[in-house]
Amino acid sequence: MDMELVQKDKKTDNRITVQIGPGVKKLKVLDHKVFDNPLAQVITWNLDPGLRRGDFISFTWSDPPPPAGIFGNPEISPDGNSLTLRNLNNDPAKSRGSFGYIITIELDDETYTSEETTSTNGVMRDPIIINR
């Protein structure tokens, strides 16, 4: 059974898919692209109505983490159904790049962590936020 957590903004329609089955517990997250802007941009992931019984548990950066000052602290809503991250992508010399992250949710007393995906060059990596 596949279930989806949906994240939308004006420029993208990314999906987080939870795959549940015998021996399968996967959280697949697509990359998120953010274009430069003088103002902080907000990235929000929301659990869709079918998954609101679940909760976001954490958002962590892959190693190496992004330089300080680009992203704010991730915030999980009081009900656990949304995760927000502020992105200050306003300086091409400092804020551009690809930044890997890991999202963890809990659903029906099971923990799901974003899985590594294969990039275009065949290397396994965590989902990324791409500041352009």
Can you give the residue ranges of every domain in the chain? 2-131
Homologous superfamily, domain 2-131: Cupredoxins -  blue copper proteins (2.60.40.420)
User: Within the chain, which residues score under 50 in pLDDT?
Assistant: 1-14
The pTM (predicted TM-score) of the whole model is 0.78
Return the pLDDT at 99. Answer: 92
Return the pLDDT at 113. Answer: 84
Q: 6, 83 in Cβ contact below 8 A? A: no
Return the pLDDT at 45. Answer: 83
User: How far is CA 71 from its chain centroid?
Assistant: 13
- Closest to 114 (Cα-Cα) out of 52, 61, 71: 61
Q: 16, 5 in Cβ contact below 8 A? A: yes
Q: How far apart are CA 131 and CA 119, in angstroms?
A: 17
Strands (E), 11-126: 13-21, 24-29, 32-34, 41-47, 55-61, 75-76, 82-87, 97-107, 110-113, 117-118, 124-125
